[in-house]
Structure 1
Amino acid sequence: MPISSDQLVDFLKKCRWFAGKARQVVLASVIQQIPFGEATIWIVEVGYEEGDTERYQLPVISVSEMPGFSTAQTLILEVDGRYLVDAIYTETFRYNLYTHIYNAESYGEPTARMAFVRGKGLEAEDLPEHISTRVLPVDSSNSALVFGEKYFLKLYRKLFQLPNPEVEMIEFLTEHSDFRQMPAFCGSMTLKSLGQPDITLGMMQRMVDAQKDNWDRTGDYLNDFLYAVPNRVFSIQEDVFERVGLLGRRTGEMHRALYNPEADATFSPEPFTADYRKFLQGRLNHLLESRYNLLIDKYRALDEQTQALAWKFMEAKELIDEFAEELLSRDIHSQRIRIHGDYHLGQVLNVQNDFIVIDFEGEPEASIADRKVKHSPLKDVAGMVRSYHYAVSAKLFESDETRYLEPTKLLKVTERWYKLIRDTYLDGYTEAIGWPHPLFKDQNEINSLMLYYLLEKAVYELGYELSYRPDWVKIPLKGIVDVIREVEKLHG
């Protein structure tokens, strides 16, 4: 069925996964069509009034009756009694995906074909004549399909002109390591067009039966602490330390698995080259400049305590510049590897008294190329440490139980909890990594790099809070000020 740009735009705006809702769309068109059984995979290009175009995956199929499970984002077009629908809502399309991954088949013409890969996570059993399939009603930037209540396929909607970093990471860990604390790689689907980079269309993994992510579970742990604070009681249950230490160990095991000198160039470790140090310097300078300007614009709207933290940050500009310049201009003997890249409590699921790490796509605001840059694994560690700081700060600052406590006192209490948890997590991490380890030269270099990545992460967070949650601005600012104090100690 032919479709106009306006019709396509109207449909896209109904879809949860369409990332361009807040932008002014000027054009949407189907730039490539790949037949797949009774369906067709459309590659849709969307142009905006400002900024770069985007590409999306839209599987379509023409049916005589609407699928039993239909939503506003099911029907694309109705013409002459037939319905053009998003094919994921038809069992025929879903089963076809499963069988092609199971058989590792390719489909299409030499000029444009879909290549299917089967991974270790897909059990070695006979291909069932029928397997239950369903669409998960998730509010996400991708679509989620379930097969036999065992396997989970993430169909990537927004497409990138490079293989998806998440698929690379999950496939590598499943196929080339003993690390099992993530949903195992079961297969993938990739668009291969003549003369063009491969484009990842989807990835299948083992399903995980998780009750909560670790952000929510940490919030539960914090309740006991929260209720005791107004009574001047400092209370942390022993099992909290055990869980935090276990997460530190699992993080260390993940990084040990990603350290593989025998791997190809995509995953082999690399030194801190001059180009990488230049990349870090440019990123930090950009973050600092944008945050300083935003902080100046928003300063008068901040409360007194937050203004005091903001002043310390702005007054330390020269010190921060000197610290970064000194660190990044000297020889660094630690190594870099592929890392998770967006590591925080919300990316860890609680499963049977253990942890499963998810969402290896990398930092959402970064380009796909930047998400594949190798970093010190301490960047992941810093992300999780900052997440614990957020967890306790958000809990205590936002709760009725602590509303009437003096802000300065509340800040001190959160710091005590945070530092105990931070040290427990880091102890678990160090235990799992082992010492010495080729990833790290010595403790002095670890300390300096950790300060750098903590600073970078907190400055990154500051931009979001200034723009969307002004009441939370004090959280990243406190993280920045903590780093400044440590740098001041180094400069003696």
Structure 2
Amino acid sequence: MSEAVTRTATTSPGLLASLDPLLREWLPRQRWFAGKGRPVTGFSLVAATELLPAEGKLGLYHLLVRAHQPSALGAEAHPGDCYQLLIGVREALPPRLAPALIGHVEEGPLAGRTVYEALYDSRPAEVLLEALRSQARIGGLRFEREPGREIRAGLVPRLMTAEQSNSSVVYGDTFILKLLRRVVPGVNPDLELPLALAREGCPRVPPPTAWLRAELGGEPYVLGVLQPFLQGASDGWELALRELAKGEDFGAEARALGRATAEVHTALARALPTVTLGHRQMELLAGGMIERLEAAAQAVPVLRPHVPALRSAFTALADLAAEGRVWTAQRVHGDLHLGQCLRSPGGQWWLIDFEGEPARPLAERRMPQPPVRDVAGMLRSFDYAAHSAGPQAAEDWAETCRAAYCSGYAEVSGADPRTDPVLLRACETDKAIYEVVYEARHRPDWLAVPMTAIERYATSDLY
């Protein structure tokens, strides 16, 4: 194993102030920016590291900045989300980098230079991979590698443009580096869980090869994870839509995906502690679901007529716990749906992106949960795929997939999720309520998809 390369990194005073007016315009336009709809009123610097000297032909800064925005209720601006930025610096951008432009700096240490999103540029992307390969320490950044895993030098990088909440760079069809954009302190499950699964020998998750982190104010920040790139793999969502459009049965794939999910759950239960949820814990879980329902109904008025019926799904769960029923909870994926799954050309399913629902606090995302939460997310995803492709035969297609997935899950876990209908109904209902709020805020044209499910859940017991 090569020794870590350590060097100090300095940044010019006034750097953030000179970038501030450009970032205020550029940052809200990025797909991974979480504070859309509220103006950015300023920034505070969390950390700045110079990876390539700005005085040269090409400079590269790694920044962690906190975006100041007014609260949703119109209160005064306050420090908000922390974002990871990679800022390239050139005299002028070549035409190939035009989409990466942030702007031209007018004052401060970079006056007269052009700054841009560095991940579009091969040289800055190469710097990141070389730092991971050599296990560098640059300023407060720590580039670390899993023992025994090698990284070949000279792999050609390319930025993936389809990412949403993060950014990814593929290196020579060998590795993919996922850089987290909105970062929070603490142990990030997107590294924690794949590492635990790899060390447990689970073959359903690409094992982390290396990662980037920082230690700030005594707290760890995970900033990026490098994993094997699954060349030729199909995104589960796109694959489902293609098969649906062709009128092909997806049941066999759904069954295989159910088996893969159960393999991951079984490995996580071996690798990390499990807990028993009794009356008090389930009362809190059901109470949280009811709170989310009531908040959603306030935010989305079309949900209000269904509140009493939907609440019954959660009170039924609390009642069952009051009768003495207990459940086992463990670490789970936390945001499982077809888009978080990849199918290899050979037919193997892989689960990716263990970050959990980004809007939830990190501590909540790391809490043990009933595995049925993941199952419910996937069942809702089948429903989404079916309805997004059109109403014809959508319900039958989704029902076939749901049944096959649960059967495949039972083949590995020994427990069919449908044999716990009260918990499964509660988790599916909770997920659909989350979807209603999301679609109402971000994709109103899609609101009919979860609302169709809401109407169904409000008038039937499902299982």
Structure 1 and Structure 2 fold alike (TM over 0.5): yes
Cα distance between partner residues in 2 of 1:15 and 1:317: 36
2:289 corresponds to which residue? 284
Deviates more, 1:370-379 or 1:162-171: 162-171
Deviation at 1:89, TM superposition (A): 4.2
Checking the alignment, whether the CA contact within 8 Å between 2:436 and 2:447 is kept in structure 1 is: no
Secondary structure of residue in 2 paired with 1:316 = helix
Checking the alignment, whether the CA contact within 8 Å between 1:191 and 1:199 is kept in structure 2 is: yes
Cα distance between partner residues in 2 of 1:485 and 1:146: 42
- Residue 363 of structure 2, aligned match among 369, 375, 399: 369
Aligned residues: 428
Q: Cα 1:291–1:214, aligned 2, differ >3 Å: closer, same or farther?
A: same
The one-letter amino acid paired with 2:126 is Y
1:180 corresponds to which residue? 203
Deviation at 1:67, TM superposition (A): 5.6
1:232 corresponds to which residue? none
Deviation at 1:330, TM superposition (A): 4.5
Checking the alignment, whether the CA contact within 8 Å between 1:188 and 1:204 is kept in structure 2 is: yes
1:150 corresponds to which residue? 174
Q: Cα 1:11–1:479, aligned 2, differ >3 Å: closer, same or farther?
A: same
2:155 corresponds to which residue? 131
1:305 corresponds to which residue? none
1:298 corresponds to which residue? 302
Find out whether 1:47 has 2:68 as its counterpart.
yes
Secondary structure of residue in 2 paired with 1:380 = helix
Checking the alignment, whether the CA contact within 8 Å between 2:418 and 2:424 is kept in structure 1 is: no
Q: Cα 1:45–1:381, aligned 2, differ >3 Å: closer, same or farther?
A: same
Deviation at 1:30, TM superposition (A): 2.7
Cα distance between partner residues in 2 of 1:143 and 1:478: 36
- Kindly report which structure 2 residues correspond to 1:5-84, keeping only aligned pairs within 5 A, or say none: 5-38=20-53, 39-50=60-71, 53-66=80-93, 69-78=96-105, 79=110, 81-84=112-115
Cα distance between partner residues in 2 of 1:218 and 1:485: 23
- Calculate the aligned-residue CA RMSD, in Å: 3.1
Secondary structure of residue in 1 paired with 2:170 = strand
- Kindly report which structure 2 residues correspond to 1:144-223, keeping only aligned pairs within 5 A, or say none: 144-174=168-198, 176-193=199-216, 195-210=217-232, 212-223=234-245
1:447 corresponds to which residue? 421
Secondary structure of residue in 2 paired with 1:32 = strand
The one-letter amino acid paired with 1:339 is V
Deviation at 1:339, TM superposition (A): 0.8
The one-letter amino acid paired with 1:40 is Y
2:266 corresponds to which residue? 256
Checking the alignment, whether the CA contact within 8 Å between 1:43 and 1:55 is kept in structure 2 is: yes
Find out whether 1:100 has 2:114 as its counterpart.
no
Cα distance between partner residues in 1 of 2:327 and 2:308: 31
Checking the alignment, whether the CA contact within 8 Å between 1:455 and 1:479 is kept in structure 2 is: no
Deviation at 1:415, TM superposition (A): 4.2
- Find the structure with the greater CA-based Rg: 1
Q: Cα 1:102–1:210, aligned 2, differ >3 Å: closer, same or farther?
A: same
Deviation at 1:8, TM superposition (A): 2.9
- Residue 254 of structure 2, aligned match among 221, 240, 244: 244
Gaps (5+ residues) in structure 1? 226-235, 300-309, 403-412, 487-492
Checking the alignment, whether the CA contact within 8 Å between 1:119 and 1:171 is kept in structure 2 is: no
Cα distance between partner residues in 1 of 2:111 and 2:241: 54
Deviations for 1:408-440, whole angstroms, at most 9, x for unmatched residues? xxxxx54444333322211110111136xxxx9
Deviation at 1:206, TM superposition (A): 1.0
2:56 corresponds to which residue? none
Q: Cα 1:483–1:189, aligned 2, differ >3 Å: closer, same or farther?
A: farther
2:435 corresponds to which residue? 461
Secondary structure of residue in 2 paired with 1:424 = helix
Q: Cα 1:76–1:170, aligned 2, differ >3 Å: closer, same or farther?
A: farther
The one-letter amino acid paired with 1:447 is P
Identical amino acids, percent of aligned pairs = 25
Cα distance between partner residues in 1 of 2:310 and 2:181: 41
Checking the alignment, whether the CA contact within 8 Å between 2:213 and 2:224 is kept in structure 1 is: yes
